[in-house]
A and B are shown apart, each in its own frame.
Chain A
Amino acid sequence: MSANQTTQKTRSASAFDVERIRADFPILKLKVNDKPLVYLDNAASSQMPQQVIDRLVYYQTKQHANIHRGVHYLSEVATSEFEEARRKLQRFINANEDREVIFTSGTTEAINLVMHGYGRKFIGAGDEIILTTLEHHANIVPWQMLAEEKGAKIRVVPINDAGELLIDEYEKLFNDRTKFVGVTHVSNALGSINPIKEMIAFAHARGVPVLVDGAQAAPHTKVDVQDLNCDFYAFSGHKLCGPTGIGILYGRAALLESMQPFKGGGDMILSVTFEKTTYNTIPHKFEAGTPPISAAIGLGAAVDYLSAIGMDAIAAHELDLLKYATGQISSIAGVRVMGTAEHKAAVLSFAVDGVHPHDIGTLLNQEGIAVRTGHHCAQPVMQRLHVPATSRASFAFYNTMDEVDALIAGIRTVQKIFT
């Protein structure tokens, strides 16, 4: 791309009204170091619109009690709102039944649930688990713990220099001992969108179930678990404009029923004696103890908010931002984009020659710009790209082209300081 083309601002042609959307997010009015906040760390956590904040306040003000227990008014209201939130999440990912939607504390707990509930029951010595180089540590470490406990083996799908999975190599990894596949939908470090539908079909043809880590995908693209035909799909509320401490595990009902419980306690049982305990039905079997009720209801409000805007409109605006930012950043001498996959979502990882990412992060912060610097909990990706760390700008639908310009100006300032 020539300098001329990249310096021209290619504004979105769509009717996406980003200023109206920004008005919903009180935190975006903040100033940081006397500069308007430019929040480009959405892949770590997104911000919360007033609608979700109001929903949390309303719940705590008018509706709170413990659920599935009391016969009193508030317990019935809270239970009904909690289960309504489950149905909202069911519709958001197009799950077949609401009992296939399990509330967890986040993606990490969702993956650990599958490791304990499915992996420890069905994966044994000599069995093989396929993961990819692009996985977040949350989809590596639980499987390593399982492999160590059971004597199972982990096989890893490699990537090319652009940060795309080598699908031929993926297919070659399958053999008679392959028992499970864990793959991220979108790479948190590079933004690559993986061809998971095809990967799932290939695994299913060999009778192998697939868990998809959707933490970075659910905020940026329409997820349809029935169309993907995945067995498990995990994602977090706080990356979806919802609260922290809440996440979702979607699981196919038959698989969830075949699994052992993850945590023991109240709500996950039908009857308890010291001789024998009978477990509750799904999803309650996997929701021991009092869940984060308000967070679940808040997440329900968040997916309502996102659905009202439309996930397709969100994805289109974010792609505009990514394309514009990629063009602009590529025009700066001495800046490299890490991760140039053909299909990418909302993540721009980059390196500035001669400047360590932590120095970039601190100096951008002085301009009010929030980016993530470090290994992004994806050290295998960093090792593969031969860098200790990168700087990462990650976009949400409430970001603007002007904020991209602020980032580009900030990077130029960093370069000036270091020359």
Chain B
Amino acid sequence: MADYKSLYQEVILDHNKKPRNYGTIENPSHHAVGHNPLCGDHITVDVVVDEGRINNIAFQGESCAICKASASMMTTSVKGKTREEAETLIQEFLAMATGKLSHENCPHIGRLAVFAGVSDLPTRVKCAILPWHTLNGAFNAVASTSTEAEEDPMHAPIGDA
């Protein structure tokens, strides 16, 4: 069991308190709403992709600190990157959060490694991956996605949270 200090550390609490890129974007090229029906949390992700590069990204929603900090750090991590780079990061983040890969084996994960501890808290994994799940939905023109959507390629069954 992870000590809370390994999860609720300064950087996560800071992004929760002062989320970066918080809000909506007019005329985004990609947009999706993500739901976690297990807790009622939801977030929206707006993205502007221009010539294959993420020029702008924003998120908004009601969620716990883990989800909000994950969303905030996601936006700062993918802004300016190509869509392919962002998609690689989505896969690495998902693999790390679900405990399939340790953060040492995720070459692009960087400071997102602060979320590695969530893999020890099965009921909270979905909080951390919801924003990434939603960004993936936006890229793939899935207007509304859910951590419980079986047909969604990002669906990650993790016990009965």
Contacts and interface: CB of A to CB of B under 8 A. Distances in A.
A266 B123 CA distance: 40
Contacts of A33: 1, 3
Given A33-B1, A362-B4, A366-B4, A355 B40 contact: no
A55 B39 CA distance: 38
Nearest to A360: B64
Contacts, number: 50
- Most chain B CB within 10 A, of A359, A374, A417, is at A359
Nearest to A383: B40
Contacts of B7: 362
Nearest to A32: B1
SS class of chain A's interface: helix, strand, loop or mixed? helix
B65 A359 contact: yes
Given A363-B8, A388-B62, A418-B65, A358 B39 contact: yes
Contacts of A418: 13, 16-17, 65
Interface of A: 33, 355-359, 362-363, 366, 373-375, 379, 382, 388-389, 417-418
A206 B13 CA distance: 57
B64 A356 contact: yes
Given A388-B40, A388-B41, A418-B13, A356 B121 contact: no
Interface of B: 1, 3-4, 7-8, 13, 16-17, 38-41, 62-66, 121, 123-124, 127
A388 B39 contact: yes
Nearest to B3: A366
B39 A355 contact: no
Given A356-B65, A358-B64, A359-B65, A375 B39 contact: yes
Contacts of A389: 39-40
Contacts of B17: 418
A133 to B, nearest CB: 17
A167 B65 CA distance: 40
List 7 tightest A-B contacts by C-beta distance, closest first.
A356-B64, A388-B40, A366-B4, A358-B64, A359-B65, A359-B64, A374-B39
* From A366, A373, A382, residue with most partner B Cβ within 10 Å: A366
A374 B38 contact: yes
